[in-house]
């Protein structure tokens, strides 16, 4: 067994990691202007050469745009070019849908946690209204697919991460179209609709309490349940 020596991370790589993390968390948004090279160097306590190297790397990665005479700006990513091929797969393959449900757990669990920390009172009120709509639809035995999409999108928006909103918007829209017929089968199982409404309500309540860990746990439990039910439906239809 041969171990490779651990290499020390270069200074510019640490700068890149920090800026990437700020973009992922929503602290930096598309169009935001980064501080001048000198200011960044002073704030990070590094040389201007390290800052220049980091900005060049970020530009090559497509995360920033350097405009001569204006500054360095966080670049708007073209999400459609990434997600659209995925959408085509979703329309064709059941197994892919299940894989996307697994991916959604990663996205939406974190979105719920961020929403608990960052949501405004108006955004929390919007989520509460959607939960009320879900409860009314359940009483009427309505499919409620639009309210489901509105709920998850509202949480993504409340997370404060614009990139997550774009990704969730694309995936949720495709998921809504591809699993609508499966929901009809899912709700034939007695009690399923009520269970899902309660799960959505528990996610909302955790966000309202500003409990990030509970919001993440409740979202994970909800999506895991939905995934298990989709697998059950898939088995039944074979």
For 111-156, the pLDDT digits (tens) are: 999 999 999 999 999 999 999 999 998 888 887 777 888 898 899 9
The pair phi, psi for residue 67, each rounded to 5°, is -105, 110
Q: Report all structural domains of the chain as residue ranges with CATH numbers, in order of start.
A: 11-74 (1.10.10.10), 79-237 (1.20.120.530)
Element (H, E) at 66: strand 64-67
What are the angstrom distances between the C-alpha of 85 and each of 79, 80, 147, 166, 172? 11, 9, 26, 15, 15
DSSP β-bridge partners for residue 74: 64
pLDDT per position as a tens digit, 22-41: 887 888 988 999 999 999 99
Q: How far apart are CA 126 and CA 222, in angstroms?
A: 20
Nearest to 237 by CA among 106, 94, 116: 94
- Predicted pLDDT of residue 3: 47
pLDDT at position 235 is 45
pLDDT given at position 138: 86
The Cα–Cα gap between 187 and 197 comes to 12
């Amino acid at each position: 067994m041969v171990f490779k020596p651990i290499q020390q991370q270069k200074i510019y790589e640490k700068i890149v990691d920090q800026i990437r993390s700020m973009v992922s968390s929503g602290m930096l948004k598309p169009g935001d202007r980064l501080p001048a090279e000198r200011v960044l160097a002073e704030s990070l306590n590094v040389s201007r050469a390290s800052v220049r190297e980091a900005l060049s790397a970020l530009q090559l990665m497509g995360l920033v745009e350097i405009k001569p005479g204006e500054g360095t700006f966080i670049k708007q990513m073209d999400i459609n070019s990434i997600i659209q091929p995925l959408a085509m797969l979703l329309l064709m393959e059941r197994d892919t849908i299940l894989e996307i449900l697994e991916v959604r757990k990663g996205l939406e669990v974190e979105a719920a946690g961020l929403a608990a920390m960052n949501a405004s009172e108006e955004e929390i009120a919007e989520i509460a209204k959607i939960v009320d709509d879900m409860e009314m639809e359940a009483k009427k035995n309505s499919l409620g697919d639009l309210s489901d999409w509105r709920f998850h999108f509202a949480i993504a928006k409340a997370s404060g991460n614009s990139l997550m909103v774009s990704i969730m918007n694309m995936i949720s829209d495709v998921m809504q179209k591809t699993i609508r017929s499966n929901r009809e089968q899912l709700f034939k199982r007695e009690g399923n609709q009520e269970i899902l409404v309660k799960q959505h309500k528990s996610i909302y309540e955790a966000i309202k309490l500003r409990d990030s860990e509970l919001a993440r746990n409740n979202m994970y439990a909800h999506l895991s349940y939905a995934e298990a039910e989709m697998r059950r439906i898939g088995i039944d239809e074979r």
